[in-house]
Amino acid sequence: MIPLLDSLRDVTTLSVLLRLTLAFLCGSAIGIERSYKNRPAGFRTHMLVCVGAAIAALTGQYLYLVMHMPTDISRLGAQVVSGLGFIGGGTIIVTRDHTVKGLTTAAGLWAAGVIGLAAGSGFFEGAVLATALIIIIETCFAGLSKQLRSNPELRWVVHYHAKGALDQVMRYCKDRRLAITNLQITGASDGAQSAYSAVITMRPNAAVKPQLLLEHVRAMEGIISVDDLAP
């Protein structure tokens, strides 16, 4: 802890101004990066969350220390942490290719709220350090996380006539060390002949060439078509 800041940890007008300003700056710093990447929650959203959390923490301290009310000083802060889950949930979407997006933005909003609580509580050092670390994570580690995904998931939509064709496809995938993580089957009939569709999600356990796999599956007997849904 920095001794020079000890006098600002009491609830005074100067301290309130400093805490809200710090929350404003921390929220805007995180929000700028999200806005630059065109994410659902951007500049203003992160500022509002961070400043709102800060004033919630300050209000709890004010009611207990100044108004001397018999209340739990951390109750408002605890409610903020719980409520941030609903805000973050609104940024998470599932695309048509069954890809989940918005998790990083939701986590950033939750972290911005906690930073606001830290700033509002007078924990200035923690708020500044956490903001710096979050910006580093969202900027510097974005490329690293993509590199770690050496074997990304494969998602295929397989259209076929005979039911045995799907068994043939699944045996072929298992022989190529593709772990099937999800399988959805739908059926339809045009009167004379039945047709089926299956959405297969697989995770390779070794390096593979998706295009070669697709070409082999498309050449199988009973297969109408195979479409790749991977992003």
Superfamily of the domain at 154-228:
ACT domain (3.30.70.260)
- Could you report the average pLDDT of every consecutive run of 10 residues in the chain (231 residues)? 75 89 92 78 86 92 84 82 79 65 84 92 92 88 63 83 86 87 76 78 81 88 85 56
Give the pLDDT confidence score for residue 83 in this predicted structure. Answer: 84
Closest CA to 163 of 200, 202, 195, 201: 195
DSSP the chain: --GGGGGGSS--HHHHHHHHHHHHHHHHHHHHHHHHTT-SS-HHHHHHHHHHHHHHHHHHHIIIIIS--S--TTHHHHHHHHHHHHHHHTT-EE-TTS-EE-HHHHHHHHHHHHHHHHHHTT-HHHHHHHHHHHHHHHHHHHHHHHHH-SS--EEEEEEESSHHHHHHHHHHHHHTTEEEEEEEEEEEE-SSSEEEEEEEEEEESS---HHHHHHHHHTSTTEEEEEE---
Q: Where in the chain is the domain with CATH 3.30.70.260?
A: 154-228
pLDDT of residue 190: 56
Residue 151 pLDDT: 64
